[in-house]
């Protein structure tokens, strides 16, 4: 599933997925910072640490795809 083997690489892949689906506007990774992940959403840029960005990605995917998964066919 993952092409990366390290945690930062997996987080980058997740953020690239969110970006490709239009869920986020952009992101930056600043190594060595207390909040290395900078996620751009319509409200602005949100700095996050590793734990926060993992929770954000889970919530963003659930919010975006949840209605699609629950839709009656």
pLDDT tens-digit readout, 29-62: 999 999 999 999 999 999 999 999 999 999 999 9
pTM of this structure: 0.83
Return the pLDDT at 49: 97
b/e code 42-71 from CB counts within 10 Å (16+ = b): eeeebebeeeebbebbeebeeeeeeeeeee
């Amino acid at each position: 599933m993952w092409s990366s083997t390290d945690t930062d690489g997996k987080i980058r892949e997740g953020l690239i997925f969110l970006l490709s689906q239009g869920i986020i506007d952009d992101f930056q990774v600043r190594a060595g910072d207390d909040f290395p992940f900078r996620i751009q959403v319509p409200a602005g840029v949100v700095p996050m640490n590793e734990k926060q960005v993992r929770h954000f990605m889970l919530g963003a995917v659930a919010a975006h795809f949840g209605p699609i998964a629950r839709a009656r066919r």
